[in-house]
Amino acid sequence: MTYTVGSYLAARLSQIGLKHHFAVAGDFNLILLDELLTNKELEQVYCCNELNCGYSAEGYARACGAAAFVVTFSVGGLSAINALAGAYAENLPVVMVSGAPNTNDYATEHLLHHTMATHDFAYSLEIARKITCCAVAVTSPEDAPAQIDMALRTALREKKPAYIEIACNIANASCAAPGPVSAILSPVPSDAESLEAAIVAAAEFLKSKRKPVMMIGSKLRAAGAEMQAIALAESLGCAVTVMAAAKSFFPESHPQYAGIYWGEVSSPGAREIVDWADAILCVGAIFNDYSTVGWTAMPSGPNVLIADDGHIQLAGLDYSQVRLDAFLSGLAARIERRDATLIEYRRIRSAPAAPPSADPAAKLTRVEIFQQVQSLINSDTTVIAETGDSWFNGMHLSLPHGARFEIEMQWGAIGWSVPATFGYAVGAPGRRVIALIGDGSFQLTAQEVAQMIRRRLPAIIFLINNHGYTIEVEIHDGPYNNIKNWDYAGLVQVFNAEDGKGKGLRATNGGELAAAIETALASREGPTLIECVIDRDDCSGDLISWGRLVAKANARPPRPQ
């Protein structure tokens, strides 16, 4: 078989396990798209715009471990930058492939369309360098295989996005055949001495403690160490709390699960048990202003052990080039049982009282919505929670074994969840994908519902219409938090046009919501959007408390000079 630069890229994407790539066409990438289409193992999936295309790939990477998307030069690529930087923040290997100008036009007096009418064509690559772990421009078929391999290898190793720009007249040029895929997939091993030293030091540290607790963070999945974290937890026997951004990365059905740790807005008992502990094992944690609730809940000091992929810190010691999976499983084999925090957690946790069933004709409330959403969640469900009160409402959902939860808490860009739901559903067709989205967020990327309709994906979108940017209202209110209302349910009809099977429904009371959910479950040939209409001030108590503390952190005056 002979290869072109484009079919080489397709072969590599397929070899690393992708079955799809996302795309928006443009003249600089059309030949490349043709070449990608020659690979029958790889399906091309289209999006309405490049930002959504990037988020779709980001959602796909959450389901499948990696993703790729193709855009045209500059006008496409710059739109997708937000999603690419988001993939960096969220530790997802998303590869953005951009078409690029004909090589004959570089370093000439020519001006090109889709540029700023200057002779600089390098700015896309330069911007990409800032927000990816590897950015390459392919302008010769001889160099293409090595450049493509380097970008894919770096992205997969670092769990960060990469950028590959391919000149439009190179995409179908002949190039060498790919070698073994292990050149891209082989992992970087730990430094054996550092690993051993880190395990010995951590085992000593734990031996000197009576009440250790584990805290699971969102970098655990990227490190591929979820099973090893369970093994360590079981060997230690302690309580295991999970940070909000890592919900579902440690199973909530596990007997040692001790709730969501999120400072003042933790689930019952989780904050108390962390405060009570004499050692905190932070595994893949990210402590930022939001996760520490405006810097009010930041574990620090000599009792904290920080375990990240590539990096272990404790008691004034620092070990680098240590793989997290190897560290956790190595440590699990060397420690003594320390279950005091689990016993204490079971004493202090107070199960939240189940709200009384609402009159089906009573005006819809947030509490009623989430009670009904809860009853939908089974082991095949993935919940996707958008920035807004959906973050806080989502935290209260209890996940049975196998259920997954996706949240974009580090990047926190509203609008992410509509295309991410689309991408996730493309990547995980067997799962029930449920999205929780506020009205304000939905307005940024609404059109991607059309692609769910096009591919007949039965995702269920709960669009919470509280008539505004409520999360911002709770941080700081003003006229800018009011938004134009839409007929959200009616929008689905617009997207259906002549051939779509999507459903748009509106619920203003519990009875209507229950009926809408039944319709959604029976609907296998397209998405269902359920607009849930509630009062503007009907938000979670956690959002109010968190918003007050975040506002306080934002309002700190400048330090005196």
Strands 162-167, 174-175: parallel, antiparallel or unpaired by DSSP?
A: unpaired
Q: Give, as ranges, the residues between 464 and 523 that touch Mg ion (CB under 5 A).
A: 466, 470
Q: Which residue type, as a one-letter code, is found at position 345?
A: Y
> Please, what is the minimum distance in Å from the beta carbon of residue 364 to ligand TPU?
14
> Please, what is the minimum distance in Å from the beta carbon of residue 543 to ligand TPU?
7
CA distance 358 to 373: 14
Interface region with ligand TPU, contact rule CB under 6 A, candidates 221-229, 329-337, 409-417, 420-428: 409-417
The 454-473 contact track toward ligand TPU, x by CB under 6 A, reads: ----------x-x-xxxxx-
Q: Does 387 bind ligand TPU (CB under 6 A)?
A: yes
CB-wise, 232 or 409, nearer to ligand TPU? 409
Phi and psi angles of residue 299, each rounded to the nearest 5 degrees, phi first: -60, 130
- Would you give the DSSP letter of residue 39? -
CB-wise, 308 or 448, nearer to ligand TPU? 448
Cα-Cα-Cα-Cα torsion 175, 176, 180, 184, nearest 10 degrees, comes to: -40
Q: Which residue type, as a one-letter code, is found at position 208?
A: S
Residue 274 CA: distances (Å) to CA of 141, 339, 404, 445, 541: 56, 13, 24, 38, 21
Strands 20-23, 460-465: parallel, antiparallel or unpaired by DSSP?
A: unpaired
Contact between 133 and 158 (Cβ < 8 Å): yes
Instruction: Number of residues interacting with ligand TPU: please give it, by CB under 6 A.
Output: 19
**What tokens does 511 get?**
């009875």
Q: Does 414 bind ligand TPU (CB under 6 A)?
A: yes
> Please, what is the minimum distance in Å from the beta carbon of residue 262 to ligand TPU?
16
> Please, what is the minimum distance in Å from the beta carbon of residue 440 to Mg ion?
5
Quick check: helix, strand or coil at residue 184? Answer: helix
The DSSP line for 335-394 is -----HHHHHHHHH--PPPPPPPPPTTSBP-HHHHHHHHHHH--TTEEEEE-SSHHHHHH
Contact between 98 and 55 (Cβ < 8 Å): no
Give the CB-nearest residue to Mg ion: 438
Q: Give, as ranges, the residues between 397 and 456 that touch Mg ion (CB under 5 A).
A: 438-440
Q: Give, as ranges, the residues between 470 and 509 that touch ligand TPU (CB under 6 A).
A: 470-472
Q: Give, as ranges, the residues between 423 and 452 that touch ligand TPU (CB under 6 A).
A: 438-441
The 358-377 contact track toward ligand TPU, x by CB under 6 A, reads: --------------------
Q: Does 112 bind ligand TPU (CB under 6 A)?
A: no
CA distance 146 to 378: 44
Q: Does 394 bind ligand TPU (CB under 6 A)?
A: no
CB-wise, 322 or 435, nearer to ligand TPU? 435
472's contact among Mg ion, ligand TPU, none, with CB below 5 to 8 A by partner kind, is: ligand TPU
> Please, what is the minimum distance in Å from the beta carbon of residue 533 to ligand TPU?
12
Exactly one of 101, 178, 412, 502 binds ligand TPU (CB under 6 A); that residue is 412
CB-wise, 326 or 464, nearer to Mg ion? 464
Interface region with Mg ion, contact rule CB under 5 A, candidates 98-106, 156-164, 319-327, 461-469: 461-469
> Please, what is the minimum distance in Å from the beta carbon of residue 540 to ligand TPU?
9
Instruction: Number of residues interacting with Mg ion: please give it, by CB under 5 A.
Output: 5
The DSSP line for 65-89 is S-EEEEE-TTTTHHHHHHHHHHHHH
> Please, what is the minimum distance in Å from the beta carbon of residue 112 to ligand TPU?
30
Neighbours of 189 (CB within 10 A): 10
> Please, what is the minimum distance in Å from the beta carbon of residue 97 to ligand TPU?
24
Provide the strand spans (E) within 6-56: 20-23, 43-46
Q: Any idea what the Cα angle at residue 281 is, between residues 278 and 282, rounded to 5°?
A: 130
CB-wise, 318 or 535, nearer to Mg ion? 535
CB-wise, 80 or 550, nearer to Mg ion? 550
Q: Does 547 bind Mg ion (CB under 5 A)?
A: no
Helix (H) / strand (E) containing 474: helix 470-475
Q: Any idea what the Cα angle at residue 446 is, between residues 26 and 364, rounded to 5°?
A: 170
Q: Give, as ranges, the residues between 182 and 201 that touch ligand TPU (CB under 6 A).
A: none
Q: Residues in the site for ligand TPU, rule: CB under 6 A?
A: 387-390, 412-415, 438-441, 464, 466, 468-472
Q: Residues in the site for Mg ion, rule: CB under 5 A?
A: 438-440, 466, 470
